[in-house]
């Protein structure tokens, strides 16, 4: 027999759709208010309605956010998986050669210039330069 504690997390699951709709409505209102409060005066664009603000959010999601299941949100795509598979098949000597080749081609780009060991590197942002 199941305990009442097992179902306690499912007690309010019917509220989830309302919470999502409330969040979308609130976010749409924020876009609507900011557009009409700021952009109308600054950029001289026309005022929009609430539904047009929702349309702008949907358009932005399509153009910039993509859709679930596409690359980026749920791990690397097929290229990333192929590269990871290839990387794991290399022995340590081949990995070292590949790292050196990437450094030769692209530089040591993940490392910021202020972490270099040489004395001629610029100061870190926000830190005074020089002795």
pLDDT, tens only, 60-114? 988 887 666 555 544 567 777 888 888 889 899 998 898 888 888 877 666 655 5
Task: Please indicate, yes or no, whether residues 56 and 83 belong to a single structural domain of this protein.
Answer: no
Domain that holds residue 95: 78-107
For the chain, strand residue ranges (E) read none
Predicted TM-score (pTM) of the model is: 0.46
Inside any domain, residue 61: yes
Inside any domain, residue 112: no
Task: Please indicate, yes or no, whether residues 52 and 91 belong to a single structural domain of this protein.
Answer: no
Domains held by the chain: number: 2
pLDDT in tens, 12-65: 788 889 999 999 999 999 999 999 999 888 988 999 999 999 999 999 988 887
Inside any domain, residue 23: yes
Calpha distance 19→13 (Å, rounded): 10
Task: Please indicate, yes or no, whether residues 55 and 90 belong to a single structural domain of this protein.
Answer: no
Task: Please indicate, yes or no, whether residues 61 and 88 belong to a single structural domain of this protein.
Answer: no
Q: Do 90 and 98 form a contact (C-beta atoms < 8 A)?
A: yes
């Amino acid at each position: 027999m199941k305990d009442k504690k097992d179902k306690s997390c499912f007690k309010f699951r019917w509220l989830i759709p309302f919470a999502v709709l409330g969040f979308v409505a609130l976010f749409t209102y924020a876009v609507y208010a900011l557009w009409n409060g700021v952009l109308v005066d600054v950029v001289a664009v026309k005022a929009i309605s609430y539904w047009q603000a929702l349309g702008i959010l949907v358009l932005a999601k399509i153009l910039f956010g993509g859709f679930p299941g596409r690359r980026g949100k749920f791990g690397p795509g097929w290229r990333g998986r192929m590269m990871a598979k290839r990387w794991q098949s290399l022995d340590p000597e081949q990995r070292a050669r590949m790292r050196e080749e990437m450094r030769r081609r692209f530089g040591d780009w993940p490392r910021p210039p202020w972490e270099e060991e040489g004395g001629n590197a610029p100061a870190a942002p926000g830190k005074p330069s020089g002795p």
